[in-house]
């Protein structure tokens, strides 16, 4: 039996066309993109083509794209880069952040953003963590009220990894522009799934990650709007205009470029097809599993994500039960041991701990088929029903009802 | 040995219920539970490995920095060891988070008991309330019929009485039946102790023969959440972090007839039978006879006074027999290293029982368990009042 993969928000397979595009850059086209000679020039050409391809997906200019090692580095670069850019000039000494510096973010960001903000708090930066409502969306009024004269950065994720909920990024961009505050979004979960237009959204900074859009792991990009002052994160050679030193990961960059190009071609068609399958999955589960419900059901969502609450079960047990039967999905956040920790996102939307633990994420992808969804709809209700038979909490609540 | 067990998904027909014959193996990352996996695979039994994440070793930062974190139970290294064994033997393995259950059912009661002057056994609570409760339930939820662990003990169904019996291990020096007396008939009916018939040496050899990456790993002897063995330091750190009041007040050390012979540094620093740090009475060494947490006193006396012939246990679990109406003769063990002593057990109302020894026993300690045997078989167990 073939395994079914419904965990595309964790990572995707590398598209065969992407692998094909990358392969020469491991062998015949192995040049260092900084070298003068023809080997280097061919690598440089490939890197710059990829930069254009990524820029095209985001409606940016190619000189605004910096390649990184992935989403985490992009987020860190944006956040530390802005917070530490506006240094007291007179001494000319690069020191810690300017006292009073303020950043606005949300409670449901990825750890790459949350932990970067927490690190800055230790350096004296004030951080506002905007709450979200039951659907996982921030309130624009609360954002407006949070902006202060000392605010240097608003960083709000585009789409949430666990819920798929899409924040009102265009409105946030307008508020940031009016307040003359830099605006960064973590678009790791949206790029390639829904249109991302840095101009329309009035973004200064945006992070993407290769392996979430059918490119390999270990490559990502940061969009930096022209004219944005950013302190560099790494020190080294003059690669990528000094923004990001380190010999370019040419093959990875080529892969990201190709994946961005493919995403641009197929985004609309994929989104329509995948959201139809996702809706089939959700409706099927709600029909067959009593008391189940969809988290963030009323928010605008990425087309591929379904986060389902199955009261009375332990999500961890359901994920294992389904994996043993050939269906991969996820719950909560994996800690370093691989065990599951309660999700800070589900807690932030107001779910009690037991319901947060009873929620499961299914995330579909470009190659998910109708027959896979049909098979999932056989496996999931059966597994939930078996778990509930052995669950003390579900039996208890059933008796009360 | 089958090398490709279960890495293929289970048959879809197995979706609804238990997978016939599937056994979950509780894997700590140590040599014993890893060998359980190897032994079951050699018998061609389908298995799935489960490793419990029980305690975050970084939880109490003030306990950090006393020595290297090597071979700590529940450490990341142990989890990775369990994963390496599963990869080596090629069977599915998952890490499951029981930190909440472990804290509320094991760590917190351990600390609270200590603070109330008792000497608790955390491993028994962990077995009864974590391993064979939520872990066994999760094992069944994911489709396993049974749970196998690396305990040195044996389970046998008595076809006459219909009861599941708990027996001492064949390797008496490794026997862990003392920590398993709390298991119910239901729990015993779904548990396997494949090492019960093996000696430690045979287990090591089985691990070596299977080329297990943990074959030479040293054993962890200490309580897993107090890897340096310093309970008092742990109790202070945990209580501070959790806002549990600790009576640090000094108090009197008194003899049985009430004479004050010294001062103590807080009742939780003492255990029954302890000799160290008490001084002398009438020129003779004294021992802790009992701890009176309510009056903040330590009662001491001569060695002779530690000898007692009867004790009462509560929360009694009858295993190989139903609660008997007449006293039964056998042997009772009152602490892990105690040699079972000839005695009789008599059931009392409200899940209690009285054990009467033929010859007086030294330092019967409240909070420890008394386990009653008929030679190899565990008849019953309970907490010493």
Instruction: Name chain B contacts of A339, Cβ cutoff 8 Å.
Output: 53, 79, 95-97, 99
Q: Give phi and psi for B244, each to the nearest 5.
A: -90, 130
Which of B5, B14, B16, B93 should be substituted to probe chain A, the one whose Cβ sees the most A Cβ atoms within 10 Å? Answer: B16
pLDDT of residue B4: 41
Residues A31-53 have pLDDT tens digits of 999 999 999 999 999 999 999 99
Q: Which residues of B touch A385 (CB under 8 A)?
A: 16
Among the partner residues B76, B94, B137, nearest to A320 by beta-carbon distance:
B94
Task: Please name the residue of chain A whose CA is at the shortest distance from the CA of residue B140.
Answer: A390
End-to-end CA distance of chain A: 39
* A338/chain B closest Cα distance in angstroms: 6
Contact yes or no for A143/A166 (Cβ under 8 A): no
Residue B142 to residue A391, Cβ atoms within 8 A: no
Query: Which residues have C-beta within 8 Å of that of residue A389, sequence separation ≥ 6?
Result: none
CA distances from A36 to A33, A40, A110 (A): 8, 6, 40
pLDDT of residue B285: 85
d(CA A241, CA A264): 26
Residues of A identified as active-site:
335
A17 sits in which H/E element: helix A16-22
Tell me phi and psi for residue A202, to 5 degrees: 55, 50
Judged by CB atoms closer than 8 Å, whether chains meet at B12 and A325 is answered as yes
* Strand order across the B251-255 sheet: B260-264, B251-255, B297-301, B287-292
Residue A90 clears pLDDT 50, i.e. is over it: no
| Cβ(B336)–Cβ(B178) below 8 Å | yes
The alpha-carbon gap from A380 to the nearest alpha carbon of chain B, in Å, equals: 9
- The interface residues of chain B toward chain A in range 34-73, judged by CB-CB distance below 8 A, are 48, 51, 53
User: What number is the average pLDDT over the span B247-272?
Assistant: 86
Buried b or exposed e, range B92-130, using 16+ CB within 10 angstroms: bbbbbbbbebbbebbbeebbebbbbbbbbbbbbbbbbbb
Rg of chain B over all Cα atoms, to the nearest angstrom = 22
Residue B222 sits at the chain A interface (C-beta within 8 Å) = no
The answer to whether residue B79 neighbours chain A at the CB level (below 8 Å) is yes
Q: What is the CA radius of gyration of chain A?
A: 22
Cβ atoms of B146 and B24 within 8 Å: the answer is yes
Residue pairs between chains A and B whose CB atoms are closer than 8 Å: 85
In contact, A75 and A113? CB cutoff 8 Å? yes
Place of tokens 């102790």: B193
Looking at residue A365, what is its pLDDT?
A: 98
Of B147, B51, B149, B53, the C-alpha closest to B100 is: B53
B70 — pLDDT class (breaks 50, 70, 90): very low
Choose the closest CB to B79 out of A3, A337, A340: A337
CATH (one of 3.30.1330.10, 3.20.19.10, 3.40.50.620, 3.30.1490.20) for B19-150+194-231: 3.40.50.620
**DSSP class of B160:** T
| d(CA A114, nearest CA chain B) in Å | 20
Contact B91, B5 (CB under 8 A): yes
Q: Where are the domains of chain B?
A: 19-150+194-231, 248-301, 307-384
Give the pTM.
0.90
- Whether residues A382 and B142 touch (CB distance < 8 A) is answered with no
Q: Name the residue with higher pLDDT: B330 or A234.
A: B330
pLDDT over threshold 80, residue B75: no
* B positions 127-166 inside 8 Å of A (CB): 137-138, 140-143
Report whether B291 contacts B114 (CB < 8 A): no
Whose structure tokens read 């000494």?
A: A93
Rounded to whole angstroms, the Cα distance separating A206 from A58 reads: 9
CB–CB contact A391 B12 (8 Å) = no
pLDDT value for B161: 93
A334 pairs with which residues across the strands?
A340
Q: Are B366 and B384 in contact (CB under 8 A)?
A: yes
Beta-carbon separation of A1 and B12 below 8 A: yes
The string of pLDDT tens digits covering residues A304-349 is 999 999 999 999 999 999 999 999 999 977 766 777 778 999 999 9
Asked if residue B72 has pLDDT above 70, the reply is: no
SS3 B311: strand
CB < 8 Å to B129, chain A? none
Share of residues in chain B with pLDDT > 70 (%)? 91
Q: Look at the block and give the residue holding tokens 């307008």.
A: A174
Query: What residue in A sits closest to B141 (Cα-Cα)?
Result: A387
The pLDDT value recorded for residue A197 is: 97
* pLDDT band (50, 70, 90) for residue A94: low
Model confidence over B220-237: pLDDT tens digits? 777 888 877 888 889 989
Domains and CATH numbers, chain A: 4-9+267-400 (3.90.1150.10), 16-262 (3.40.640.10)
CA distance A307 to chain B (A): 20
Is the CATH number of domain B248-301 2.115.10?
Answer: no
pLDDT at A392: 86
* Digit-coded pLDDT (tens) for A146-201: 999 999 999 999 999 999 999 999 999 999 999 999 999 999 999 999 999 999 99
Q: What gap in Å lies between CA B95 and CA A139, rounded to an integer?
A: 37
Return d(Cα A83, Cα A71) in angstroms, integer: 18
With CB atoms and an 8 Å threshold, state whether A338 touches B94.
yes
B219 neighbors B31 (Cβ within 8 angstroms)? yes
Question: What confidence score (pLDDT) does residue B19 get?
Answer: 77
Higher pLDDT, B110 or A243: B110
Residue of A nearest to B139 (CA): A317
CATH superfamily of B307-384: Translation factors (2.40.30.10)
Q: Is the pLDDT of residue A91 over 70?
A: no
Q: What is the DSSP string of B262-275?
A: EEES-GGG--TT--
Look at residue B195 and tell me whether its pLDDT is greater than 70.
yes
Strands A333-334 and A327-328: unpaired
Assigned token pair, A162: 């666990």
Task: Give the length of chain B.
Answer: 385
- Which position among B73, B74, B123, B224 bears the catalytic label? B224
**Cα separations in angstroms, B97 against A51, A333, B158, B243:** 42, 11, 35, 24
What ipTM was estimated for this complex? 0.87
- How many CB atoms lie under 10 A from the CB of residue A308? 24
Tokens representing B158? Answer: 């008595």
Would an 8 Å CB–CB cutoff place B9 in contact with chain A?
Answer: yes
CB burial class (10 A; 0-12, 13-18, 19+) of residue A27? exposed
| Contacting residues of B for A378, CB less than 8 Å apart | 12, 15
Residue A7 Cα, gap to closest chain B Cα (Å): 17
Place A260 in a pLDDT band, splitting at 50, 70 and 90: very high
**Phi, psi (degrees; rounded to nearest 5) at B151:** -70, 145
From the list A314, A325, A391, the residue facing B14 with the nearest CB is A325
Q: How far is CA B322 from CA B163, B183, B188, B319, B326, in A?
A: 9, 14, 15, 7, 11
At residue A64, the pLDDT reads 97
Give the whole-number percent of chain A exceeding pLDDT 90.
85
pLDDT score at B7: 57
How far is residue B36 CA from its own chain's centroid?
18
- Rounded Cα distance between B385 and B380, Å, is 15
CA distance A105 to A114: 8
Mean pLDDT for chain A overall: 93
Per residue in A97-138, pLDDT (tens digit) is: 677 899 999 999 999 999 999 999 998 999 999 999 999 999
Task: Record the tokens describing residue B356, joined without a space.
Answer: 């009467």
d(CA B271, CA A32) in angstroms, rounded, equals: 70
pLDDT band for position B76 (50/70/90)? confident
Residue pair B195/B169 in contact (Cβ under 8 Å)? The answer is yes
- The closest CB to that of B53, out of A314, A339, A385, belongs to A339
Residue of B nearest to A387 (CA): B141
Question: B19 and A3: CB-CB below 8 Å?
Answer: no
Does residue B3 register a pLDDT over 50? no
Contacts of residue B137, defined as CB under 8 A and 6 or more positions apart, other chains included, come to A390, A391, A392
Tell me the CA end-to-end span of chain B in Å, nearest whole number: 49
CB burial of residue A56 (10 Å; 0-12, 13-18, 19+): middle
* Bridge pairing between strands A305-309 and A65-68: unpaired
CA–CA dist A361, A379 (Å, integer): 15
Q: Strands A65-68, A293-294: parallel, antiparallel or unpaired by DSSP?
A: unpaired
CB atoms within 10 A of CB A90: 6
Are A389 and B26 in contact by the 8 Å Cβ rule? The answer is: no
Q: What is the mean pLDDT of residues A213-239?
A: 93
Residue that wins the pLDDT comparison between B223 and B202: B202
Cross-chain Cβ contact A321/B141 below 8 Å:
yes
Residue B9, pLDDT score: 65
Tally of CA atoms within 13 A in the half-sphere of A286 that contains its CB: 13
| Minimal CA separation from B133 to chain A, in Å | 11
């Amino acid at each position: 039996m073939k395994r079914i993969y419904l965990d595309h928000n964790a990572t995707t397979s590398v598209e065969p066309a992407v692998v094909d595009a990358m392969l020469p850059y491991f062998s015949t086209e192995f040049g260092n993109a900084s070298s003068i000679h023809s080997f280097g020039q061919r690598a440089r050409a490939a890197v710059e083509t990829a930069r254009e391809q990524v820029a095209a997906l985001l409606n940016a200019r190619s000189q605004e794209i910096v390649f990184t090692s992935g989403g985490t580095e992009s987020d860190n670069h944006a956040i530390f880069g802005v917070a530490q850019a506006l240094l007291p000039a007179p001494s000319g000494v690069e020191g810690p952040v300017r006292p009073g510096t303020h950043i606005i973010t949300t409670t449901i960001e990825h750890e790459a953003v949350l932990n970067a903000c927490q690190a800055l708090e230790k350096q004296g930066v004030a951080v506002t963590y905007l709450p979200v409502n039951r659907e996982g969306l921030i309130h624009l009024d609360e954002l407006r009220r949070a902006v202060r004269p000392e605010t240097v950065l608003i960083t709000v994720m585009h789409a949430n990894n666990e819920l798929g909920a899409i924040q009102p990024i265009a409105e946030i961009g307008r508020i940031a522009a009016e307040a003359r505050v830099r605006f960064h979004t973590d678009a790791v979960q949206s790029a390639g799934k829904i249109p991302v237009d840095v101009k329309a959204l009035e973004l200064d900074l945006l992070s993407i990650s290769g392996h979430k859009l059918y490119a390999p792991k270990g490559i990502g990009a940061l969009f930096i709007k022209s004219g944005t002052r950013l302190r560099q994160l790494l020190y080294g050679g003059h690669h990528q205009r000094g923004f990001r030193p380190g010999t370019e990961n040419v093959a990875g960059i080529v892969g990201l470029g190709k994946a961005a190009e493919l995403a641009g071609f197929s985004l609309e068609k994929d989104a329509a097809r995948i959201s139809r399958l996702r809706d089939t999955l959700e409706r099927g589960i709600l029909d067959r599993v009593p008391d189940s419900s969809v988290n963030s059901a009323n928010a605008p969502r990425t087309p591929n994500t379904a986060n389902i609450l199955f009261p009375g079960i332990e999500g961890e047990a359901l994920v294992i039960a389904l994996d043993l039967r050939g269906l991969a999905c996820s719950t909560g956040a994996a800690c370093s041991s691989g065990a599951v920790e309660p999700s800070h996102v589900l807690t932030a939307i107001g779910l009690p701990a037991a319901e947060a633990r009873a929620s499961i994420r299914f995330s579909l992808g470009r190659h998910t088929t109708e027959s896979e969804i049909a098979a999932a709809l056989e496996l999931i209700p059966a597994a939930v029903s078996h778990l509930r038979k052995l669950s003390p909490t579900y039996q208890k609540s059933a008796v009360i009802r | 040995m089958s090398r490709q067990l279960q890495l293929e998904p289970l048959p879809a027909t197995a979706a609804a219920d238990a997978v016939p014959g599937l056994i979950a193996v509780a894997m700590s990352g140590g040599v014993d539970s890893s060998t359980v996996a190897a032994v079951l695979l050699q018998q061609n039994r389908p298995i799935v490995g489960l490793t419990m994440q029980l305690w975050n070793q970084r939880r109490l930062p003030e306990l950090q920095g006393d020595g290297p974190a090597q071979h700590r139970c529940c450490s990341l290294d142990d989890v990775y060891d369990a994963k390496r064994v599963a990869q080596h033997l090629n069977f599915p393995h998952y890490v499951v988070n029981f930190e909440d259950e472990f804290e509320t059912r094991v760590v917190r009661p351990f600390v609270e008991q200590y603070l109330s002057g008792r000497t608790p056994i955390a491993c028994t609570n962990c077995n009864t309330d974590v391993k064979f409760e939520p872990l066994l339930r999760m094992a069944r939820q994911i489709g396993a019929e049974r749970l196998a662990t690396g305990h040195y003990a044996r389970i046998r169904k008595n076809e006459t009485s219909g009861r599941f019996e708990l027996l001492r291990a064949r390797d008496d020096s490794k026997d862990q039946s003392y920590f398993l007396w709390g298991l119910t008939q239901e729990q015993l009916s779904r548990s396997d102790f494949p090492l019960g018939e093996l000696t430690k040496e045979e287990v090591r050899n089985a691990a070596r023969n299977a080329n297990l990456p943990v074959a030479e790993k040293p054993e962890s002897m200490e309580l897993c959440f107090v890897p340096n063995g310093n309970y008092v330091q742990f109790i202070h750190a945990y209580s501070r972090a959790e806002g549990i009041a600790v009576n640090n007040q000094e108090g009197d050390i008194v003899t049985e007839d009430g004479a004050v012979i010294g001062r103590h540094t807080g009742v939780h620093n003492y255990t029954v039978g302890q000799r160290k740090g008490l001084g002398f009475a009438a020129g003779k060494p004294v021992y802790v006879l009992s701890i009176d947490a309510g009056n903040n006193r330590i009662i001491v006396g001569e060695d002779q006074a530690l000898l007692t012939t009867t004790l009462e246990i509560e929360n009694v679990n009858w295993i190989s027999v139903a609660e008997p109406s007449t006293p039964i003769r056998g042997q009772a063990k009152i602490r892990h290293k105690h040699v079972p002593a000839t005695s009789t057990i008599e059931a009392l109302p409200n899940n209690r029982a009285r054990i009467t020894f033929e010859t007086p026993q030294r330092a019967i300690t409240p909070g420890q368990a008394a386990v009653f045997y008929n030679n190899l078989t565990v008849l019953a167990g309970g907490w010493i009042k």
